[in-house]
Amino acid sequence: MKILRDIMTSEVSSLNSDASIREAAEKMKNLNVGSIPVCDNSNRPIGIVTDRDIVLGSVSKGQDSLEPVESVMTRNVITASPDTDVHEAARIMAKHQIRRLPVVDSDKLVGIVSIGDLAIRDIYENEAGSALSSISEDVLK
């Protein structure tokens, strides 16, 4: 049985909620990622900001890129623990239609798992494909 601890990215960059939208975008570009968790001063996830959040919540509205990232972040963060089974993680991601799942231990951010992390392991390819299909259905509507 594989658990998230076995496949998660453990070196995760995060932002504080008062970081600017521009800073979030620059960090995403430099790290070549599509999302960044937003944490409080105790490293507890309070949100997540995606490249899509920035485009739809800021750029398309002509919002100043110096506004705080909390103005565009998703606040209801779905998380899992490092001991969550990867099959359960795939189900969580499909159910909530998310592509990235922050991993927390004692309420602190310790990693992140993407749908791609699940897909590159052959044993989970079908589940990752199913999860991605479920996630993408809403986007295609």
Q: Would you write out the chain's pLDDT as a tens digit for each of its 141 residues?
A: 789 999 999 999 999 999 999 999 999 999 999 999 999 999 999 999 999 999 998 888 888 899 999 999 999 999 999 999 998 999 999 999 999 999 999 999 999 999 888 876 644 445 545 555 554 455 444
What sign results for the dihedral spanned by CA atoms 101, 30, 140, 49?
A: positive
CATH code (residue 14): 3.10.580.10
Q: Spell out where 68-138 has E strands.
A: 100-105, 108-114
| pLDDT score, position 116 | 85
Is residue 27 within 8 A of residue 37, CB to CB? The reply is no
Please report the pLDDT score of residue 52 as a whole number: 93
- The residue segments making up the domain with residue 123 are 4-140
- The distance from CA 43 to its chain's CA centroid, rounded to whole angstroms, is 15
**What is the number of helices (H) and of strands (E) in the chain?**
6, 4
Q: Which residues partner with 9 through β-bridges? A: 112
pTM for the full predicted model: 0.82
Domains: count for the chain: 1
Give the pLDDT score at 129.
52
**Residue type at 30 in one-letter notation:** N
Q: Is 2 exposed, middle or buried (0-12, 13-18, 19+ CB in 10 A)?
A: middle
Q: Which pLDDT belongs to residue 139?
A: 46
